[in-house]
Structure 1
Amino acid sequence: MSPDHSGRLPAAYLVPGSSSFADFARDHAPDVLTARRAAGAGAAEAAAHAPHGTTIVAAVFDGGVVMAGDRRATAGNLIAQRDIEKVFPADEHSCVGIAGTAGLAIEMVRLFQVELEHYEKIEGALLSFEGKANRLSAMIRGNLALAMQGLAVVPVFAGLDLAAGRGRIFSYDVTGGRYEEQHHHSVGSGSVFARGALKKLWRPGLDAAGAVRVAVEALWDAADDDSATGGPDLARRIWPVVAVVGAEGYRRVGDEELEAVVEAVVAGRRGDPGGTGAARAAGGERA
């Protein structure tokens, strides 16, 4: 958008329009949107060397949802970063986790955060939970051209639906398809292993602390079998990013609290790396 040297806002800012910031940017400053940038002939090489985020897990509990992400980013067979963050607040009562091309995913999350804040300022009301999920779906669909060239972004969106009074989880595909998941879900390269852990450990009636423990256990199982997923790093004191979203809003679990959970998981896995003891305990509590 061309600057107005008079010191006044450009006319585009003074014309009533959509409550979508993404639509506004597309109409007046499309170059700021990643999806409008052509990847070009080098897209395949860029996709191979760009850092990728891997495993995200989410699980509902009575009164909200927990989301957790490992901290490893990979570039081919190399560890590109050991402490990347993949779980972010979307607004006060929702969060988003990223898997796929890390740079594009983080930029999409930032745009999504602005999108929700912009809607609230323009409309004077919160967007419904379904509306938030739909807005993210549209952003992913806008990235389809880059995704088809190997630069894909596949987030998971979760939070507390204030109208329904319960935690909800939505997953997506690269075309922007939106799917509501029941109870728990995982995405990323370690998702198959994490999903197996979630199935054996999640149970109805979990509280927030129980859901945090289940999420950390699931990431541990993913890291055990997927080289692109980083487990808790006790030597470097690098823990997963774990967020709890409930009636009080978004809260990132602190390092001290998380360290205690990780140490309990590690202690439980000594001599039982497959976590059969944790699974039996979860089964007994169900009964």
Structure 2
Amino acid sequence: MIATSDITIPDWIKEEHKTGTTIVAAEFNGGVIIAADSRTTTGAYVANRVTDKITPLADRIFCLRSGSAADTQAIADIVKYHLEFHEMETGSSPLVNTAAHLAKSIIYNNKERLLASVMVAGWDSYKGGQVYVVPISGMIVRKSIYISGSGSIYAMGYLDAFYKPNMEKNECLEIVKNAVAMAIARDGSSGGCIRFAVVTDKGVERNVILNTELPRFYEN
């Protein structure tokens, strides 16, 4: 038997799982589109190539997670629990704004212990499609479009140039997919496939674009 003290443990084993990432949410005329890459890293090691970073909180409300995988998953689980309880008490579907403020409260009250940033997006009958951003500081702000994560710097200019309020679904979906594909091509912490969801009053359409099917751009 080899003593543990004789074994050199690689640094990446000691590292926390992180969703070093690219996540995008955009409002369009009729709902919201949310998308994310699927790479999870442990230090420099790719721990998972097909992670689902789009976490459902309610029927038409989703959370996009960035930061510590454990922290963001715990936040999503707590928010989902409270929304289910809220729905049982009121007899009505929860609002996107309610879910966002629950996430904001958790992150703000624990910001010294958590490494977590989330986007809460979805559709409700009160305000339609909405995107709320809750960064690591615990503030909350509504955006018509937002991109976050380590890969965001590679696609932010593209979204600024091509996004317009009240876009049609297919046009908005195309620029969101292109933005995530650009980030995957350039960012070492983003990769895998693109998972996306379209949320409207009619329900949720979820789909996956495999890595071999991603839009390709000039790389040099």
Same fold (TM over 0.5): yes
What's the offset of the Cα at 1:92? 1.6
Indicate which of 231, 245, 251 corresponds to 2:205.
251
> Which structure has the larger Rg?
1
Indicate which of 91, 95, 99 corresponds to 2:62.
95
Query: Deviation string for 1:113-164 (max 9, x for gaps)?
Result: 12111101022223333222211111212332313xxxx0101111124212
Q: Which amino acid aligns with 1:50?
A: E
Distance (Å, rounded) in 2 between the aligned partners of 1:107 and 1:130: 19
Tell me the secondary structure at the aligned position of residue 216 of structure 1.
helix
Match of 1:67 in 2: 34
What's the offset of the Cα at 1:228? 0.5
Query: Deviation string for 1:78-122 (max 9, x for gaps)?
Result: 212111110122212221100000122112212211211110102
Structure with the bigger percentage of strand: 2
Structure 1 residue 49 corresponds to structure 2 residue 12: no
Distance (Å, rounded) in 2 between the aligned partners of 1:262 and 1:123: 46
What's the offset of the Cα at 1:68? 0.5
Q: Which amino acid aligns with 2:42?
A: A
Q: Do 1:60 and 1:168's aligned partners in 2 also have CA atoms closer than 8 Å?
A: yes
Distance (Å, rounded) in 2 between the aligned partners of 1:143 and 1:244: 31
Q: Do 2:27 and 2:166's aligned partners in 1 also have CA atoms closer than 8 Å?
A: no
Q: Which amino acid aligns with 2:178?
A: E
Give me the TM-score of the superposition, normalised by structure 1: 0.66
Give me the TM-score of the superposition, normalised by structure 2: 0.84
Sequence identity of aligned pairs in percent? 25
Higher relative contact order (CA 8 A, sep 6+): 2
Match of 2:111 in 1: 144
Give unmatched runs, 5+ long, in structure 1: 1-44, 234-238, 275-287
Match of 1:121 in 2: 88
Give unmatched runs, 5+ long, in structure 2: 1-10
Distance (Å, rounded) in 1 between the aligned partners of 2:175 and 2:97: 26
Distance (Å, rounded) in 1 between the aligned partners of 2:116 and 2:214: 33
Distance (Å, rounded) in 1 between the aligned partners of 2:110 and 2:51: 22
What's the offset of the Cα at 1:205? 4.1
Distance (Å, rounded) in 2 between the aligned partners of 1:65 and 1:108: 22
